[in-house]
Amino acid sequence: MVRNDPRQYDDLAGEWWRPGGDFEILHWLAAARAAMIPPAARPGAILLDAGCGGGLLAPYLAGKGYTQVGVDLRRSGLEQAAAHGVRPVRGDVTALPLATGCADVVAAGELLEHVPDLAGTVAELCRVLRPDGLLVLDTVNGTALSRFITVTAGEWLGVAPVGLHDPELFVDPRRLTAECARHGVRLEIRGVRPTLTGLLRWLVLRNGRSRGRIVPTRLTAVLYQGRGHKANGCRPGRHE
């Protein structure tokens, strides 16, 4: 398969929930993403998990009052997401099969560095977001440092599965904030990183949850989070 081929997630389906598996860091990222999401402000609030994979965000949203809808291309991930309480929808994030303004929160975790059409994806994420709704995301910066850490060193060390990322798709935060602003979302960016002790424990042991965490850092050159509200009265149409 070529780099970033979505079919790789079918081969890796057993890793979504395996303690200490290839997707261990994604659990840490999901916990950090959930920490940016407040409790639901109204009954029946919808949270869209775009590119939900196996539904790793779900446990960290328990008790916050959202109905969680997960959209993903791969059925293998959606089946596991459904088993964790996510309402699964098979679809493409560049043409979400959801109504405009339906979501109180849109979460896009470790998604944007995998999409060939960044502008179209951002447009759709913002389209389905209600006025004053919240967009939260995390992704990989398009720098030489992030390419080395994520692909060159990451694949060699086993931090990232081989071939899962195409560094040409990594996301410049300036471009991302500009795309969000076009659709009424003022995105605030901050750098994040895994804790060194958690990362080393996982790399050495690889058996069970390593209790690693994602923590803030001033450096945005590798991983970063984004958070922003959609302006009231902003109702963009479907991306064309």
- In order, the DSSP letters of 136-163 are EEEEE--SHHHHIIIIIIHHHHTSS-TT
What is the predicted pLDDT for the residue at 1? Answer: 79
Mean pLDDT on 2-20: 95
In degrees, to the nearest 5, what angle opens at C-alpha 64 toward C-alphas 51 and 81? Answer: 30
C-alpha span between 184 and 89 (Å, rounded): 26
pLDDT digits (tens, 9 = 90+) for 145-176: 999 999 999 999 888 999 999 999 999 999 99
**How much is the pTM?**
0.94
Question: Structure tokens of 73?
Answer: 């291309």
Domain ranges of the chain: 8-229
Q: How far is CA 30 from the centre of its chain?
A: 8
Fold held by 8-229:
Rossmann fold (3.40.50)
pLDDT digits (tens, 9 = 90+) for 79-129: 999 999 999 999 999 999 999 999 999 999 999 999 999 999 999 999 999
Give residue for tokens 């006025």.
131
